[in-house]
Structure 1
């Protein structure tokens, strides 16, 4: 089986109201949908790379939200949202519901109007999903890997990955070390404490993945189209 990351750019008529609002604010650039359920009324869990105040303003775009709870943590804000219905485009929901693949969290929505979703399945089913999606949005295959049970969940969120990349760029992992956490914070435009927390969590996740997996994910396997 394969694990494929699809990159999506939505036309204006199909973008979710919350995602549309995300493209219009200056102090938030990403939302990660971490957990959701099979029915409209299941509570979802998302993470935003911004403050609770800005997150609350973004969530105001979700007219069907019945209850929300916000938790400031991990360099941003977690949001528990219970909706009375999904507000995704009907055709996109039908494409997802009819797909013969499984979807892995997180689904990442960005301030530039793009999104990334990962799916697992057999090559024919993944190709079928790609073709269905291609009729509705601008879709591209960003990455193809073999699926492995032990490492199916990404070890790092986008923000933690950015922190590790910034740390590497400023020499934080050089031997001897030439960069500091303050340098990483400057690269990320965040507080020093936030940068330190992101690095600690990223490093803990990578060590845990390394010690718990029997084998690494496979390499590139070409396009599923």
Structure 2
């Protein structure tokens, strides 16, 4: 099986209300949809690269929102949002529901109308999904990997794991090193200091658990 990272560009009429609001709101540039459920009536968990007050204003764009709880963390804000509908375009939702692939968190939405996500499946099913999605959105394939079963043994946060993956992608761990913290920050669309802190915490977690035997099978 394969694990494919996709990038898409949403036309305004197909974008989620929060995605549209991102482009109009100062001080915020991205939202990461971390956890969602299989039904329309669901509590989702998202992360925004801004303060709680700005997030609360952003969430007013969701007409089906019935309750929200905000928690500052990881240089941004986590949002637990209970809603009675996803408010995505029906054609996009129908495609996601019928696809013979599964989707891995996070789904990251950017202020410029683009989004990134990963899907896992057999090559033929991923190709079919890519073709069908291309009839609705401007879509591109950014990375393709073999899928490997396994959890996150170092108990990394989603942001820390994304930082490590970005570091590998830009050559930060190559020997000799070909990538920089600045390049990692560009991949994550965050400040250099934030990228550096995420890498240090992730590396500390991995090294600590390796040396105490937690990562040795």
Using the size of structure 1 for normalisation, the TM-score is 0.75
Matches within 5 A, 1:49-198: 49-150=49-150, 157=159, 161=163, 189=191, 197-198=197-198
Partner of 1:19: 19
Give a deviation string over 1:31-68, Cα, whole Å, max 9, x none.
Answer: 10000000011100000011001111111111110000
| Residue 77 of structure 1: how far off its partner (Å) | 0.3
C-alpha separation in 2, matches of 1:119 and 1:15: 20
Residues 48, 76 of structure 1: 8 Å contact kept: yes
| Residue 189 of structure 1: how far off its partner (Å) | 4.8
Residues 163, 195 of structure 2: 8 Å contact kept: no
C-alpha separation in 2, matches of 1:90 and 1:53: 30
Partner of 2:203: 203
Residues 18, 58 of structure 1: 8 Å contact kept: yes
| More moved, 153-162 vs 95-104 | 153-162
Q: Which runs of 5+ in 1 are unaligned?
A: 169-183, 215-225
| Residue 160 of structure 1: how far off its partner (Å) | 6.2
C-alpha separation in 2, matches of 1:208 and 1:44: 32
C-alpha separation in 2, matches of 1:101 and 1:121: 5
C-alpha separation in 1, matches of 2:106 and 2:84: 22
Partner of 1:40: 40
Q: Which runs of 5+ in 2 are unaligned?
A: 171-184
| Residue 74 of structure 1: how far off its partner (Å) | 1.0
C-alpha separation in 2, matches of 1:65 and 1:91: 21
C-alpha separation in 1, matches of 2:157 and 2:74: 14
Runs of 4+ in 1 over 6 A off after TM superposition: 152-155, 208-211
C-alpha separation in 1, matches of 2:89 and 2:14: 5
What is the number of equivalent residue pairs in this alignment? 196
Residues 94 and 74 (structure 1), Cα distance of their counterparts in 2 relative to 1, 3 Å cut: same
